[in-house]
Amino acid sequence: MPSVKIYDTTLRDGAQAEGISFSVEDKIKIALRLDKMGFHYIEGGWPGSNPKDLEFFKKIRHCPLRHARLAAFGSTRKAGAAAENDASVKAIIDSGVQVATIFGKSWDFHVFKALGVTLEENLAMIRETVAYLKSRGLEVIYDAEHFFDGCKANPAYALETIRAAAESGASAVVLCDTNGGTLPAEVKELVEKARSVLGVPVGIHAHNDGELAVANTLAAVQAGAEQVQGTVNGYGERCGNANLCSVIPNLTLKCGIETIPREKLVHLTDLSHFVSEVANISPNPHQPFVGASAFAHKGGVHVSALLKDSRTYEHISPGEVGNRRRVLVSELSGMSNLLYKYKELNLDIERQSPEGKRILEDIKKLESQGFQFEDAEGSFELLVRKTNHGYRDPFILEALRLLVEIKENTPAYSEAIIKMRVGDRVVHTAAEGNGPVNALDNALRKALYDFYPCIGSMHLTDYKVRVLEEKDGTGAAVRVHIQTGDGKRSWGTVGVSRNIIEASWQALADSISYGLLKGDHLARNGEEEKAVNGKKPAGNGSLQTN
Ligand SMILES: CC(=O)SCCNC(=O)CCNC(=O)[C@H](O)C(C)(C)COP(=O)(O)OP(=O)(O)OC[C@H]1O[C@@H](n2cnc3c(N)ncnc32)[C@H](O)[C@@H]1OP(=O)(O)O
Ligand SMILES: CC(=O)C(=O)O
């Protein structure tokens, strides 16, 4: 089976992305994870650039990589100086790595404009730097910056630069689409041309400015490239680099080319999320292969066919890359979406059942009012369970009053007073908060805590308000979406009203009800049952028995 080497530059080119700044510890964590995934090369940084990268290379020596070869990045020597005296070259040697990756100029325009040297001096910079690092026992990978632009402008010179690198001892010449504007057909043609003048393997390093980095990488491999450079999630300078989370599965699953060990592919989704977590960048749900929406099916027609055979609407099986299939419920659902969701919930339903028809109608009606169920699985399940299946509300609101006082030079005051029924008890309690919704949340929890102590582990993790009809200004209906977590799972709930407090209450009440439905409390309900049905619970709320 043909194979390519995976060269990761998340820690170098990925760190050139706006918004990313890895700490040394972050870099070590990511390097170890990439190593575990079976990547062949990990570019740790540019030791001649900053103290953090220097520190990384120092520290990583104490946690050696098992599989990957660690590379340090740098440029060809400065013009007019000897390679052995160049601080950046010296920093690579001092970093103690096995691999030096050196970028040099292929485009005559860059040689004149950016370096301000002659074409001959640039060739000497390439030759001497590669040869010197090689003489110091390092494997040298040569990154031919702007190779494709250079080859279009002055092919003879661009080819001479890469030949100079190969003849001086580079183990591979990596052709870079540095400005990211090359098209796949051009990449294929120029990779073939480069290969025809070189005796060493060729690699590809593509940027995504034309949104073609992955396509260009695949085109290069089809033209014979044996090394692909890229980053996890495509992070990188400007629009990013070739996304390895797409390149790897495309090569492995579509092109039959060996990349990382096959058994590691199922960890790709986890890797993507891990790196986005460390980079502190929200994962892109629409990212191919590894995004949460990559196998999320919404249209009824799609789900209907999917139930017959998943290949009807999936290009690969989600499990192959460690992702999972999801079916969404919305106004675009048909009965197939419901059948799928019922099965997920371990509930029985017939395709022709009146219950299913009613729920589908309810969903479509509620969505026309502004509800959105696709990310509110908690509210959806409660809707289903309330329709049938013996569901009992864990609490019923009797009245809710909010007090908000805003006075000059005084912090705003918010208090919620709540009266609700829990079993045959009536609880009447009040709580303050930072704002009205916080006061409401506090009052609800205070009222319920003695009955359901597990609500102590439920935390609101996100609260979003969306105005539904902007033209109505402050009188518009709003949709409130709440995300709640209990450390084990996370769930969404939704509320809609022209009154933001009512919409918040709906989403909040659903979030607690759903948490109670799913939480451990059901397993140890005995005690709470006692509290609900007679025993006066201790706590702050005043309790009345009807
Ligand atoms: C295509 C790529 O992504 S390459 C990687 C780009 N990444 C980075 O630039 C991040 C790290 N960079 C840095 O920390 C700094 O830019 C440093 C330490 C490398 C250099 O800093 P400074 O010495 O202050 O130079 P400055 O950043 O202003 O300019 C870059 C210099 O490198 C020179 N240079 C650019 N490419 C090369 C090359 N292939 N070989 C030799 N010199 C080069 C430029 O001509 C310029 O030199 P000049 O100041 O004599 O004109
Ligand atoms: C080397 C590199 O990062 C580039 O040419 O884009």
CB contact set of 385 (below 8 Å; sequence gap of 6+): 391, 517
Say how many Å lie between the CA of residue 241 and the centre of ligand 2.
Answer: 9
Alpha-carbon distance 232 to 229, whole Å? 10
Q: Is the CB of 178 under 6 A from ligand 1?
A: yes
The pLDDT of residue 471 is 74
Q: Is the CB of 179 under 6 A from ligand 1?
A: no
Alpha-carbon distance 246 to 230, whole Å? 10
Say how many Å lie between the CA of residue 51 and the centre of ligand 1.
Answer: 16
Say how many Å lie between the CA of residue 237 and the centre of ligand 2.
Answer: 9
Say how many Å lie between the CA of residue 299 and the centre of ligand 2.
Answer: 41
Residue nearest to atom 4 of ligand 2 (CA): 178
Other beta carbons within 10 angstroms of residue 32's beta carbon come to 17
Q: Give the number of whichever ligand sits closest to the CA of residue 49.
A: 1
The pLDDT of residue 174 is 99
Q: Is the CB of 105 under 6 A from ligand 1?
A: yes
The pLDDT of residue 382 is 96
Q: Specify which residues 492 forms β-bridges with.
A: 483
CA 3 to chain CA centroid, nearest Å: 27
- Amino acid letter for position 27: K
Residue nearest to atom 9 of ligand 1 (CA): 49
Ligand 2 pocket test target in 143, 174, 217 with most atoms within 8 Å of CB: 143
The pLDDT of residue 536 is 33
* DSSP-derived pairing of the beta strands 139-145 and 172-177: parallel
For residue 76, the ligand 1 atom closest to its alpha carbon is 40
Q: Is the CB of 255 under 6 A from ligand 1?
A: no
Q: For the chain, how far is it from start to end, CA to CA, in angstroms?
A: 76
Q: Is the CB of 145 under 6 A from ligand 1?
A: yes
Paired tokens of 430: 């009040």
The pLDDT of residue 387 is 86
Alpha-carbon distance 539 to 50, whole Å? 57
Q: Specify which residues 496 forms β-bridges with.
A: 479
* C-alpha torsion sign, points 253, 258, 263, 267: negative
For residue 143, the ligand 2 atom closest to its alpha carbon is 1
Q: Specify which residues 494 forms β-bridges with.
A: 481
Alpha-carbon distance 186 to 153, whole Å? 13
The DSSP 8-state label assigned to residue 537 in this structure reads: P
Q: Is the CB of 129 under 6 A from ligand 1?
A: no
Ligand 2 pocket test target in 103, 107, 142, 237 with most atoms within 8 Å of CB: 103
Paired tokens of 300: 């009824």
Q: Give the number of whichever ligand sits closest to the CA of residue 81.
A: 1
* DSSP-derived pairing of the beta strands 41-45 and 5-8: parallel
- Residue ranges of the chain with pLDDT lower than 70? 389, 520-546
CA 363 to chain CA centroid, nearest Å: 29
For residue 176, the ligand 1 atom closest to its alpha carbon is 1
Q: Is the CB of 122 under 6 A from ligand 1?
A: no
Residue nearest to atom 23 of ligand 1 (CA): 49
Residue nearest to atom 20 of ligand 1 (CA): 49
Element (H or E) spanning 190, and its range?
Answer: helix 184-197
Q: Give the number of whichever ligand sits closest to the CA of residue 89.
A: 1
The DSSP 8-state label assigned to residue 504 in this structure reads: H
Q: Is the CB of 207 under 6 A from ligand 2?
A: yes
Q: Give the number of whichever ligand sits closest to the CA of residue 74.
A: 1
Other beta carbons within 10 angstroms of residue 424's beta carbon come to 10
DSSP letters along 453-472, please?
GGGGG-EEEEEEEEES-GGG
In the chain, the domains with their CATH numbers are 5-260 (3.20.20.70), 296-387 (no CATH), 396-545 (3.30.160.270)
Say how many Å lie between the CA of residue 205 and the centre of ligand 1.
Answer: 19
124-143 burial, b at 16+ Cβ within 10 Å, e below that, comes to bbbbbbbbbbbeeebbbbbb
Say how many Å lie between the CA of residue 456 and the centre of ligand 1.
Answer: 54
For residue 145, the ligand 1 atom closest to its alpha carbon is 1
For residue 13, the ligand 1 atom closest to its alpha carbon is 3
Alpha-carbon distance 232 to 243, whole Å? 6
Residue nearest to atom 39 of ligand 1 (CA): 104
For residue 12, the ligand 2 atom closest to its alpha carbon is 3
Specify whether the CB–CB gap between 338 and 356 falls below 8 A. yes
3-state secondary structure 30-80: HHHHHHHCCCCEEEEECCCCCHHHHHHHHHHCCCCCCCCEEEEEEECCCCC
Say how many Å lie between the CA of residue 15 and the centre of ligand 2.
Answer: 13
Q: Is the CB of 415 under 6 A from ligand 2?
A: no
Q: Is the CB of 74 under 6 A from ligand 1?
A: no
Other beta carbons within 10 angstroms of residue 444's beta carbon come to 24
Q: Is the CB of 75 under 6 A from ligand 1?
A: yes
429: nearest Cα among 437, 440, 438, 515: 440
Paired tokens of 115: 């370096």
For residue 115, the ligand 1 atom closest to its alpha carbon is 45
Q: Is the CB of 333 under 6 A from ligand 1?
A: no
